[in-house]
Amino acid sequence: MRRRWLAAVAITMASVLGLAGCGGSGGGTASPQATGGGDKKQVEVFSWWTGPGEADGLKAMREIFEKQNPNYTFFDAAVAGGSGDKAKALLQSKLQADTPPDTFQGHAGAELQGYIKAGDLEDLNALYDELKLKDVFPSQLIDQISVDGKIYSVPVNIHRSNVLWFNPKVLKDAGIAAAPKSVDEFIADLGKVKAKGKIPLSIGSEWTVVHLMESVLLGSLGTDAYNALFKPGANWGSPEVKKALDSFKTIMTYAGDPQDDWQPAAKQVADGEAAFNVMGDWAYGYFHNPPDGGLGKKSKEDFDWAPSPGTEGTYLWLSDSFTLPKGAKNRDGALAWLKVAASKEGQDAFNPKKGSIPARKDADQSLYTDYLADALKDWSSNKLAGSIQHGVSVNQPWLASITEAVGLFIGSKDVAALQKGLVDAAAANAQ
C-alpha cells in the first residue's frame, strides 16, 4: 500500500514540475496572460476546485463575477487534487518565481501564516472596511484570518471535517442499527461489516488518512485536549495520544484499498461497496448533486451522515478563502473577484453546490436544506476545534511533517514511531 502512495507522490511532483516548466496553470486551457479578446483583462483565479460539486460551485460564482464585471474574463487556474496538495506545490513555485496568480485559494488559519510571513500577501483591511465584512463574518473567523490586526483573506465558506458518511443499507445488513457514537463502537461496527464481506472503511489518497487521523484524535481525546495539542508546551507524547493512535491503527486495519482521491472513496459508500467513510462535508455536494455534477444519490437512503465517532457536539472546522498576492498582474480584477467571493449573492450561489455553509451570517438559510441545515445548526451551537489537514491548527511545514509520519506509518504500522514523528513535528513547528 505504501508503495502505491509513494508512486502517487512521485507522479504528483512530476506533474507539478511539468506544469511549472511549461508555464501552465493546471486547470485553464489558455495562457493567463492572454487578453481574451478586445480590451478584456483576464483574472487568474487559482484553486483546487476541479471535482464534482466544488467545480459547480466555482462555476456559479464565476457566472456572477463575469456578469458584474464585463470588462474582465475569468481564467480558471484550478489544479486537480483533493485538499490542494498539488495546487499548493505549484503555487509555491509561482510565488518563488514572482509570477503569482491574481488571487489564490487558501485555508483560513495557520496555513496562510507562511505566505504572510514571506510577504506574499497584501492585507485586505481596506476591503473589509469598504464592504463592512466584520459585521457579517463570525468574530472567531475574523480572529483566525487576522495577524497583528490585519486581515489577509476573504472566507467563502465553512466546512466540517468530522463527518462520518455511511450507507444505511450496508449497515442494516450488518446488523448495525445506527451510526457509532464512540471510537470503540466504530471499531466494533467495522468488524461487523467485514464479517458480511463488504469494505468496512473506504479511504482515498494519503491526505485522506491524515484527515481520518484528526477525527480519531478528536474522538478519543475530547475537544479541550485536542485543541491543547496546538498550544505551546503541548504533550504529543502522552499516554492519551498513544491510546488514540492505537485506535487509529486498529481502524486502519479495516480500510479498503486506497482510492486515487476522496471522490472514488466516497463513491464506494454511495454504491454500497463500503459501509463508512470519514470525509469533510464537501462530500455532501458530491453525493447529492445531479449526475452531471455529482452522483445524484438520495440522502437517508443511499447515504447518511453523523459526526465522526466520539465527536458529537464539536465542529471540526475549516474555511476556504481567497487572497490578494503582492505583485498580482491584475490587482483590480482580483479585488473584483474578492468582492464576489465575499458577497451574499456569491456565497449563496457557491455553497449549496459545494456542500458547505456560508461564512456570512446573513445568508439565505432557506437554501441550506438536508445535511446543510444540520451543519448550520451545529455551527452555531457546537464547540469548535480546528482541522489539522485543512490548515486551521497547523502551518504547512508542520502539516508536511505530520503527513510524512503518517505516510511512514501506513507502511510500518508502528504506533510508537508514528507518535515520535508527531512529537518531533510539534517540537519543530509549534509556535
Classify domain 163-316+391-429 at the CATH class level.
Answer: alpha beta
The amino acid at residue 19 is L
Cell of residue 416, nine digits: 510508537
- Are 248 and 216 in contact by the 8 Å Cβ rule? The answer is yes
Using CA atoms, how far residue 85 sits from 16, 106, 309, in Å, is: 10, 11, 26
For residue 14, the tally of other CB atoms under 10 A from its CB is: 10
Q: What is the mean pLDDT of residues 205-231?
A: 97
Q: Is the pLDDT of residue 20 over 60?
A: no
Q: Is the CA virtual torsion 123, 129, 130, 134 positive or negative?
A: positive
Q: Is a pLDDT exceeding 80 seen at residue 347? A: yes
Average pLDDT over residues 405-425: 98
DSSP string, 299-346: BTTTBEEEEPTT-TTEEEEE-EEE--BTT-TTHHHHHHHHHHHHSHHH
pLDDT band at 354 (very low <50, low <70, confident <90, very high): confident
Long-range contacts of 71-74 (CB under 8 A, 24+ apart): 71/39, 71/40, 71/41, 72/40, 72/41, 72/42, 72/43, 72/330, 72/333, 72/336, 73/35, 73/36, 73/37, 73/40, 73/41, 73/42, 73/43, 74/42, 74/43, 74/45, 74/337
Using the Cα atoms of residue 237, residue 427, residue 403 and residue 119 in order, give the sign of their dihedral.
Answer: positive
Q: At what angle do helices 239-252 and 415-429 cross, to 10 degrees?
A: 120
pLDDT computed for residue 355 by the predictor = 85
Identify the CA nearest to 302 among candidates 294, 292, 310.
294
Grid cell locating 303: 447515504
Res 431: pLDDT = 65
CB count within 10 Å of CB 100 equals 24
Worst-scoring range by mean pLDDT, 176-180, 279-283, 339-343?
Answer: 279-283
Of these ranges, 90-99, 138-147, 415-424, the one predicted with the greatest mean pLDDT is 415-424
CA 84 from centroid of its chain's CA atoms: 8
- H/E segment holding residue 154: strand 154-155
Q: Is a pLDDT exceeding 80 seen at residue 24?
A: no
CA separation, residue 203 to residues 228, 256, 429 (Å): 27, 7, 28
User: What does pTM read for this prediction?
Assistant: 0.84
Quick one: what percent of the chain has pLDDT higher than 70?
Answer: 90
- Those residues whose C-beta lies under 8 Å from the C-beta of residue 96, and which sit 6 or more positions away, are none
Residue-wise pLDDT for 60-105, tens only, equals: 999 999 999 999 999 999 998 766 878 989 999 999 999 999 999 9
Q: Which CATH superfamily is domain 26-156+319-380 in?
A: Periplasmic binding protein-like II (3.40.190.10)
- What's the average model confidence in pLDDT over 163-183? 98
Neighbouring CB atoms inside 10 A of 327's CB total 12
pLDDT per residue over 271-319, tens digit each? 999 999 999 998 998 898 888 878 999 999 999 999 999 999 999 999 9
Per the prediction, the chain carries an average pLDDT of 89
Give the torsion sign (CA, 232, 236, 241, 247). positive
Query: Which three cell numbers, joined as nine digits, stand for 213?
Result: 487521523
Phi-psi category of residue 410: left, alpha or beta, with phi > 0 → left and psi -120 to 50 → alpha? alpha
Range with the poorest average pLDDT among 80-89, 108-117, 285-294, 339-348:
80-89
Over 90: is that where the pLDDT of 14 sits? no
Taking the alpha carbons of 215, 216, 217, 220 in that order, is the dihedral positive or negative? positive
Q: Is the pLDDT of residue 22 over 70?
A: no
What pLDDT is attached to residue 28?
Answer: 40
CB distance 121 to 324 below 8 Å? yes
Question: Residues with Cβ < 8 Å from 158, sequence gap 6 or more?
Answer: 141, 317, 318, 319, 356, 357, 358, 359, 375, 379
Parse the chain into domains and list their residue ranges. Answer: 26-156+319-380, 163-316+391-429
Same fold, 26-156+319-380 and 163-316+391-429: yes
The whole-number pLDDT of residue 83 equals 64
What digits encode the pLDDT tens for the residues 224-250?
Answer: 999 999 998 999 999 999 999 999 999
Helix (H) or strand (E) run with residue 73 in it: strand 72-76
Sorting pLDDT into bands at 50, 70 and 90, what band is 140? confident
SS3 content of the chain, % helix, strand, coil (to 5): 50, 15, 35
